[in-house]
Amino acid sequence: MEGPLEKIYSLPIALLFLIGAVLSAFLFYSMMKYAEAGNLLMVILLAIAVSIVAFVIGQAIKFRQLKEL
């Protein structure tokens, strides 16, 4: 598989979980700060960013699992 996500897909699964957890925690923290400030646009954009991170990490884990079979 070639493309910009090739480095992410080649990482070990435990590291993928760690990166995903840290990145998601930071995005959720930022989302809550903007929610307290009343900035609806940033809350929506950060929710979309959390979804994208979860999707990419999920696809990378799926790719690693299929590659090991």
Residue 12 covered by a domain:
yes
SS (H, E, C) 4-68: CCHHHHCCCHHHHHHHHHHHHHHHHHHHHHHHHHCCHHHHHHHHHHHHHHHHHHHHHHHHHHHHH
pLDDT single digits (tens) 54-64: 998 888 888 88
pLDDT single digits (tens) 29-46: 999 999 999 999 999 999
Residue 1 covered by a domain:
no
Say what the pTM is.
0.80
Residue 53 covered by a domain:
yes
pLDDT single digits (tens) 15-29: 988 998 999 999 999
Contact 16, 23 (CB under 8 A): no
Residue 32 covered by a domain:
yes
Contact 8, 20 (CB under 8 A): no
Q: Which domain holds residue 56?
A: 7-68
Residue 2 covered by a domain:
no
Domains contained in the chain, number:
1
pLDDT at 2: 62
